[in-house]
Structure formats: structure tokens, C-alpha cells
Structure 1
Amino acid sequence: MSELINNSDKRKRTLKGLLLKIHEGVDPDLVKAELVELLREVPYGEVVEVEQQLIEEGLPAEEIQKFCDVHSLVLDGNIDLSGAKSIPPGHPVDTFNQENKELLKVVDEASELLDQVKSMKDSDINPMAMKLLSAFNRLLDVDKHYQRKEYLLFPFLEKAGITGPPKVMWGKHDEIRDLLKGCIEVLRTSELTRDDLITTYDLLFNPALDGVEDMVKKEQDILFPMSLDHLTVENWWDIYQQTLAIGFCLYDPQVEWKPQGMDTRLTEESAIYGSGIQLPSGSFTSEEILAILNTLPVDMTFVDRNDKVKYFSQGPHRIFTRSRSIINRDVRLCHPPASVHIVEKIIDDFKSGRASHAPFWIQMQGKFIYIEYYALRNEQGEYLGTLEVSQDLSEYRKLEGEQRILEYK
């Protein structure tokens, strides 16, 4: 046992010295070669301990953040995950990992589109910019993935004494979010040229895509294995229960997680039955209001005053596909780029009071679909949000005469 401890201490001292060389300006490729020669592989937990020690010994977290990507480059392929715990389906870490798979698909999609730009004519750039805008809009959904780490996972790590790495990672989140927003801003510019996109590639597009991809590696190689070691089942259940309040990223879990050896019935029943809703004309339990909303023959989606999707009904005959990954997403990012200006017009008019109702009707797959947007306001007239109500009126349009006799159909 003492030999294992000594080996671990020696590895950590060696790794710390190698990482400090990076901060002193030594070529990362030389450091990586030395790491492979001296250490071969480093257990994921020791990487976290070393970064924590560097911060405790006075190396600013901002300095670690600055060289975070270089650390990852040096350690890539040399982290030992043999001791990592298995992850049950539906567990919060499983959800994080599934989201990462979807993020990497969009990163690949955006990379392939950008590769095509170099051989395109200026006349073809606007359609390409729309495709890229769609991809980067989807990538910005990573904000919810990061928020769940920041507000649900990191507090438990900090309680376990792991404070440095979460601080560094949060800083990287902010960098990636800013890069993605910059990409979207450029792609929304009218009359883009091929040269504009090529120039922006090294400044924004490539760093943004690399940032998302590198963060996936940091999570899967270090953060999540380490978190599984330090958090209790109760901690993970707490995270699981709060996850939907922030929302999912490009993925809607279809498997419900029930932690083994823990009685979750009390908290589950409390969530369903315990909270009553008192209104001026009556009251409901949460279970009752859920049944009412899902029985109405309409699709409803609620967008709050901050333009975030907060709710959608889940009736048996949905008109438009919705998944829980849109919860807390900016409503503009839930629509094709070509129709965003209409969404913005409706929201602006509702907020300003110029309008409170916007109806549309379309023919879709042989059905007559009626879509209405309503501005929701309180008694003082203050804007609370927008309610989208959609319904299939095809059968209603066929009605003639009257039906006064009870007849089940």
C-alpha cells in the first residue's frame, strides 16, 4: 500500500513539474513527449489534485485557465480511466455524456460546412451562412449543459474541497459561450462574402468548435470520473431532480433514473401531489393541472418575458414535435434562421403593447393547422410572456348542422 502511495506522490510531483514548464514557456510538444516517457498514463484523479495544488500554492486560477487547452493537449491520450466508475442509464452523468455526443455531431456538421466555404463563390455564401447559423444556434444550446455543471454539479464538488478545477472550467465555459455568440453575430450579418467567412475562421469559428470539443474531452476524461468518485447517491439524486429546471442540451432523456438503495417515493410523490395551485376561481393539484393541460385538444408552448421556452403541453396528438431539450432555450434558437425575423417581430410587438394576438393558418400534410400567439399580461398590463396555441381544425371545418344527442366517437 505504501508503495502505491509513494508512486502516486511521485507521479503528482512529476506532473506538477511538467505543467509548470508549460507556464514557463517550454514547448508543449516537448512537455508531452517527456510526460509520455516518464509517466505513460496519469490517473484522472491525480490530474485534478495537481491543478488544485498549483492553485493552492499561488498559481492564479486565471493562469491555469489561460493554459487549460495546452494542459489538455499534453495530457490527451495519457489519462488512465481504468478506475472510473460505471454510469447507469438516465444518471445525470449519462445525460451529460449523451448531450456531448449530440454536440460533437453538430461540431462535425459545422466543420464540414466550413470546409466547403473555401471553394464556394460569393453568390453561394448566403445559403451556406444560413446552414452555419443553424449549426451554431444549436451549439449555443451548450449553455444549458454548462449551467447544470455550474449550478448543480460544481457546488457539490466545492463542498468536497475541490474548488480550483470548477473555477477554471467555469472560465472556459464563458470563453466558449462568447465565441459561439460571436460566430452567430457574424453569420447574421447581411451580404457576407467568402472572404468574410474565411477571415472569421481562425478568429471565431475554429476556436469555438475546438472549445466545445475540448470541453467534451475534459468532462469525459477528468470531470465526470472525478465527480462520480466524490458525490454521493443523494447528491446525484438532488442534481437529477433539479435538472429539468435548467433544461437539456440537444437531447431528451428517455430513461428514468432510479438510484439503487434509495427510497425516492417521498420526493417523487411530493413533486406530483404535494404542491397545490390556488387560483381566484378554484384550485388544482399539480397532477390535476397536468391532466387538464394534456387533455385539451391544442398544443401549447409558453415563452416567458425573457424569451425563454419554459413549458410545452404533452397531449396525445401533438402537431409540432417538441422535446424537453428546448426548455430554457431562447425562442429565437428554436426556429429556422429564415423565420427568426417573424418571431422577433411578434415578441417586440407584444412587449411594446402594439399587439396582443397574432393568428396564422397553414396546410400541413393534408391538415388545416391554426396557430395563434397570445401576449400574456398581468392585471397591471405588464408583459409576462407569449403563449403559442396550435390546433388541427380539419375535422371541425367539416361539421354541419347540429349534434344534440349524446354519441361517443
Structure 2
Amino acid sequence: MDNKKIEKLTQVLQKLNQEGVTEALRKEALDIVANISPIELSIAEQNLIEKGMNPQDLRHLCDIHMEVLKDELDKIKTKIEPGHVVHTLIAEHDKILEFLTQLEEINFKIQKSESYDNALEQIEALKTVTFNILDAENHHQREEKVLFTEMEDRQITGPTRIMRMEHEDLRSKKEFLKVAAEEASNSNFNEFKEKVDDTSKYIIFNLRDHIFKENYILYPTAIEAIQGKETWQDMKRRCDEIGYCGFTPEV
């Protein structure tokens, strides 16, 4: 690993956080990221956390290196087969992204409704899509208890710390949306609409961002860092013990 590259990227990420995204800084970061591996990128983020930066401040720095990593998912898929731990996680992400698109459409229609009675069909659809999004819990548990643990055993702790924090944050928002949908009939309709609008948009934006970071940063790092067929087979066994989601594609 090139420590000079990591240190240079660390410095640029600090500047981005302190000064904001200027065109000059953006170009500097893109030039570095184009020649840095996912695991080196993760170490740079980890360096910032160890220097005292709040992990939340890192969540908004990802756009810079996402531009360079947008083809990384296709590269991963050429390295792994259906049934592989990461292959399954990526396939589940595809389904979750579909649910988020549905949520976006449902929320749009609810916001256009003038009364509870006019929104009954959409409220039922909201309950269904919220159930599906909450059904991702086993996906998160497999990440946290198997994939993240293996990465942390290899001293990669920065990215996993951020992902765990985001899981917890999103979990509470999803539960809040579920309760709002279930209690719609007993709520002031305008207040209900506002709750649904605010929470749906938060979930849609942040969960899409979360999935993007896992697909394009965390998973490539894991593939690079965790070596050995037997290790991945053992991870698959532990994932099987945790279980899967109702929407997990069959392989």
C-alpha cells in the first residue's frame, strides 16, 4: 500500500470537509482516487476518524470518489459467483432500491391526496413497502455480524463504523414511518402527510447513498482484503445461520 497516496488523499478529504467542494479540490481528489484502490481509500477515511473527525462528516465526502468507482460493481461481479456472500448482498441491494422507488411514488401520491379517504389505497401501499424495507434487517445483520466483523479483524474499521452508524439511524426512521402508516386513521391528515413526506424523503436519500457507498466502496474493499475460499465459505455458513430476507433472490 502506498502510504504517501493515502496521506495525500487524507489531506484532500480534510480540505474538502473544511473548505467545501471547490472545482480545484474536486479535480485534485479525482486525480488521486483514480489511482487508489478501494482498500487504500478506506484507510484514508479511517485516518480521518482516528485524527478526531466525526464519522458523520465523512458521509458527505463520497461523491468525489464515487465518480471514479462507478464501474467497480461490474468488476466485482466478474470475481464472484451467485451464492457468494457479497453477490447476495448486492442482489438484495437491487431489491431495496426498487422498494425505495416505490416509496417515492407512493409518497408523491399521498402528498397529492386531499383527505384520508382519498389516500386509503396509497396508505395500504405505504404499509406494504415499509414492511419490505424493514424486512432488510437480516441483510444488515449479515453485514454487521459477518462481513464487517471480518473486515474489522483485518484492521479496516473506519468504513464499517460509518455503515453501522447509518444502519442504526435508518432503522429508527423506518420504524417511525411504519408507525405513522399504521396510525394514519387516528392522525390529523395534514400532519400525517408531513410526517410521511419528511421521513420518506430522508429514507430514500440516505438509504440510496448508503447502498451506493457499500456497493462501490465497502464491498470492493472486502473482496480485496478478505482472501481465501475457505474464509468466504465459513462466512457463507454464518450468513445462512442468520437467515435471509423475504425478497432475497434464490440462487
For normalisation by structure 1, the TM-score amounts to 0.54
Once the two structures are overlaid, the 10-residue window that deviates more, 150-159 or 93-102, is 150-159
Matched, 1:121 2:114: yes
CA, structure 1 residues 189+246, in 2 after alignment: closer, same or farther (shift >3 Å)? same
Q: Which amino acid aligns with 1:237?
A: Q
User: Who is 1:154 aligned against?
Assistant: 148
Matched, 1:178 2:168: no
User: Who is 1:75 aligned against?
Assistant: 65
Partner-residue secondary structure (3-state), 2:59: helix
Q: Deviations over 1:288-347 (max 9, x none)?
A: xxxxxxxxxxxxxxxxxxxxxxxxxxxxxxxxxxxxxxxxxxxxxxxxxxxxxxxxxxxx
Q: Which amino acid aligns with 1:127?
A: E
Q: Which amino acid aligns with 1:67?
A: D
Matched, 1:141 2:131: no
Shift of 1:226: 1.1
CA, structure 1 residues 129+83, in 2 after alignment: closer, same or farther (shift >3 Å)? closer
Distance in 2 (CA, whole Å) between partners of 1:140 and 1:12 is: 37
Higher strand share: 1
Distance in 2 (CA, whole Å) between partners of 1:49 and 1:145 is: 25
Shift of 1:230: 1.6
Matched residues, number? 244
Q: Which amino acid aligns with 2:49?
A: I
User: Who is 1:101 aligned against?
Assistant: 94
Shift of 1:148: 0.5
Preserved contact between residue 18 and residue 31 of structure 1 (Cα < 8 Å): no
Distance in 1 (CA, whole Å) between partners of 2:203 and 2:99 is: 12
Q: Residue 247 of structure 2 is aligned with which of 243, 248, 251?
A: 251
Which runs of no fewer than 5 residues in structure 1 stay unpaired? 256-409
Q: Which amino acid aligns with 1:224?
A: Y
User: Who is 2:40 aligned against?
Assistant: 46
CA, structure 1 residues 219+55, in 2 after alignment: closer, same or farther (shift >3 Å)? same
Q: Deviations over 1:194-227 (max 9, x none)?
A: 5334422563211112222122111110111111
CA, structure 1 residues 35+146, in 2 after alignment: closer, same or farther (shift >3 Å)? farther
Preserved contact between residue 106 and residue 138 of structure 1 (Cα < 8 Å): yes
Which runs of no fewer than 5 residues in structure 2 stay unpaired? none
Higher relative contact order, structure no. (Cα contacts within 8 Å, ≥ 6 residues apart): 2
Distance in 1 (CA, whole Å) between partners of 2:109 and 2:184 is: 20
**RMSD value over aligned CA atoms?**
2.5
User: Who is 1:217 aligned against?
Assistant: 212
Which aligned pairs between 1:4-403 and structure 2 lie closer than 5 A?
8-24=2-18, 26-28=19-21, 33-35=26-28, 38-39=31-32, 41=34, 42-56=36-50, 58-60=51-53, 63-64=54-55, 66-79=56-69, 81=72, 84=76, 86-122=79-115, 123-191=117-185, 192=187, 195-201=190-196, 203-231=198-226, 232-255=228-251
Distance in 1 (CA, whole Å) between partners of 2:120 and 2:28 is: 47
Percent identity between the aligned chains?
21
Larger Rg: 1
CA, structure 1 residues 249+29, in 2 after alignment: closer, same or farther (shift >3 Å)? farther
CA, structure 1 residues 140+35, in 2 after alignment: closer, same or farther (shift >3 Å)? farther
Partner-residue secondary structure (3-state), 2:40: helix
Preserved contact between residue 179 and residue 204 of structure 1 (Cα < 8 Å): yes
